Structure 1
Amino acid sequence: MSGSKRSGALVGAGVVAIALLAGCSGSGETPAGAPAAQNPAAVAEDPAAAALLAAASEATVAAGTARYELQMHVETGGQQTTVSGTGTYDFDRKIGDLEMTTAGPGTAPGTVDVIIDGATFYTQLPGQGGWTRTQTEGSAVSGQQYDPAQQLATLQKVSDDVRMVGTEQLRGAEVRHVAFAIDPAALASASGMPGDSAAALQSGGPIPGDLWVDQDGRVRKLQMQMTMNQGGTVSTMNVISEYFDFGVPVTVQRPDPATVQGPAGGR
């Protein structure tokens, strides 16, 4: 696969991850193993954990805006690729930006720019003069599932086995760590995913996840791990998202239509 095509494929994977995993981020740290939800012995049952998870979405939205970072580790066919990114997101306008780089076999150097506008994604690959528009299909309620806060609300509806892990430190703040599991069939249904994507998502079984919530009840970090089988090719995707700098100005704007190609008015 050529570098440009591989970069395009990784961008697509990144968009899927953003949509499914609450929009993104990561502190630059490599995941220390699988999410805690995969190891029930590591966590203690705590009914308060479910309430904490349920309230986190509203508290995060109330912050208005946030800066975020993303790390996505993908293994396909024995090859590993890491996608790292940083950006900002406005929960009211449902718009954000993401600047990504990739590292791995066959990846092209350079930065990939993404603008998230509800259910629409604009992507600019290295060396590309304009933007490519992707209008996601099967979106629920005008694409609200692609708003990170709305996606968190969806996740809480289809999560089970919610457990409290404990209290930790993150970026100098005290956070509470909650582990949970997601039924992929319920997630696909709640997200309105098209058939092929839903089948790929469900092929890997339950999705383990971890959530870190600060003392104001806001989501500070989210980690989820998915295994998908697409046409016989098995991929494992581990995504870590981290939110910080709540209230930061978000100045991102939609690209000039004259520079955009793709569905819905593309050139």
Structure 2
Amino acid sequence: MARSVSGGRIGALSVAGILAGTVLVGCGDEGGDTAGPAKGSPTPGSAGAREPGTQAVRSAYEKTAEEDTARVTLKVRTSAEGTSVTANGKGTVDLDDGDSVMTVTAEGQRIEQRVIDQVLYQKPPAGQAPGGKPWIKIDLKKVAAQQGAGGQSMNDPARSAALARAIDDRDVTNKGSAEIGGVATTRYHVTVDVAKLPDGAQLSKQLGPALPMDIWLDDEGRIRRQQVDMTVQAPATPKSGAGAKTATGPQRMTVRTVLEFSDFGTELEADAPPARQVTDMTDEAVEQGGTRA
């Protein structure tokens, strides 16, 4: 039986899925002080992007975001200390700003989930939400800020164009054709140089030097499936038992996130629950997530 959201396990899984998904698909404007092509400008002439596969991968984020919305299915498998938990979700997502409405299921538990302006709302099974209210919320921006600059880089969909610019020809391998949901696609394996991302030095401490992922692109260059494999340092946890004063050391945690997109342009209605029905769990989320060195 999964613990309640206050215990953090299901909540952490669904947060991980949303973050891993929106950061790699959303393609907002990073501001005028960042080098790189403006939205709508061609990428084939970009340095390190001579091969067609590299050009396709670099432009995929923008082409996908131009569709505005899509239906999405999500699978997140989190493994640590010899055990693993899988969460599955389905819903609709705004491909530009990351707003979404989803249902997430893990370990037999079903959670209704919404992300509005980078605030996560979750409605766990009846009786499991703290505070006597049906919904909890976690401000993802505040959590990212507590994780340091690196956390902000990975969790802000508006900065994901930088990920495309961190890819060059040696990082992209054409893995052949495949059919996704009845749609013909080309699969590319991509190794992202983490050091080239904004705040890459900090991110490298959390994720290591490389971020492996696979993307399947349709004939219009849009992402139909995306698989991201991350290995992160889980924060230290307090030891249990009377008189325990020390904490266990950080543990390595692997997270595989697979998203599939379909029905581009579908209608999305994403509204925050009434404030009287919501308990703010942002501080608890920050404490559980810790500050990674």
The normalised TM-score by structure 2 is 0.68
Correspondence for 1:236 among 251, 254, 263? 254
Instruction: Give the deviation of 1:169 after TM superposition.
Output: 1.2
Counterpart of 1:22 in 2: which secondary structure? helix
Return the alpha-carbon distance in structure 1 between the equivalents of residues 196 and 117 of structure 2. Answer: 22
Correspondence for 1:256 among 246, 250, 274? 274
1:171 and 1:24, CA in 2 relative to 1: closer, same or farther beyond 3 A?
Answer: farther
Q: Which has the higher contact order (CA 8 A, sep 6+)?
A: 1
1:63 and 1:166, CA in 2 relative to 1: closer, same or farther beyond 3 A?
Answer: same
Poorly superposed stretches of 4+, deviation over 4 Å: 143-148, 185-188
Q: Confirm or deny that 1:61 pairs with 2:69.
A: no
Q: Which has the larger radius of gyration?
A: 2
1:24 and 1:205, CA in 2 relative to 1: closer, same or farther beyond 3 A?
Answer: closer
1:263 and 1:82, CA in 2 relative to 1: closer, same or farther beyond 3 A?
Answer: closer
Counterpart for residue 221 of structure 1: 225
Return the alpha-carbon distance in structure 2 between the equivalents of residues 117 and 158 of structure 1. Answer: 28
Instruction: Give the deviation of 1:147 after TM superposition.
Output: 7.1
Alignment map for 1:85-104 (pairs within 5 Å): 85-91=89-95, 94-103=98-107
Return the alpha-carbon distance in structure 1 between the equivalents of residues 205 and 138 of structure 2. Answer: 20
Amino acid at match of 1:115: R
Deviations along 1:189-243, whole A, 9 cap, x unmatched? 27xx9x7xx47633x4422110111111111110011112223212111111111
Unaligned runs of 5+ in 2: 26-49, 237-249, 283-293
Counterpart of 2:60 in 1: which secondary structure? helix
Counterpart for residue 178 of structure 2: 168
Alignment map for 1:108-123 (pairs within 5 Å): 109-123=108-122
Counterpart of 2:267 in 1: which secondary structure? coil
Counterpart for residue 47 of structure 2: none
The answer to whether the 8 Å contact 2:80/2:251 transfers is yes
Counterpart of 1:21 in 2: which secondary structure? helix
Counterpart for residue 37 of structure 1: none
- What is the number of equivalent residue pairs in this alignment? 231
Instruction: Give the deviation of 1:155 after TM superposition.
Output: 2.5
Amino acid at match of 1:21: G
Unaligned runs of 5+ in 1: 26-45, 104-108
Alignment map for 1:5-84 (pairs within 5 Å): 8-22=8-22, 47-84=51-88
Deviations along 1:34-87, whole A, 9 cap, x unmatched? xxxxxxxxxxxx811111011111211221210000111111111111110001
Root mean square deviation, CA, Å: 3.2
Alignment map for 1:156-235 (pairs within 5 Å): 156-160=164-168, 161-187=171-197, 189=199, 198=203, 201-202=206-207, 204-230=208-234, 231=236, 232-235=250-253
Amino acid at match of 2:206: L
1:211 and 1:199, CA in 2 relative to 1: closer, same or farther beyond 3 A?
Answer: closer
The answer to whether the 8 Å contact 1:85/1:99 transfers is yes
Return the alpha-carbon distance in structure 1 between the equivalents of residues 266 and 156 of structure 2. Answer: 17
The answer to whether the 8 Å contact 1:17/1:23 transfers is no
The answer to whether the 8 Å contact 2:88/2:105 transfers is yes
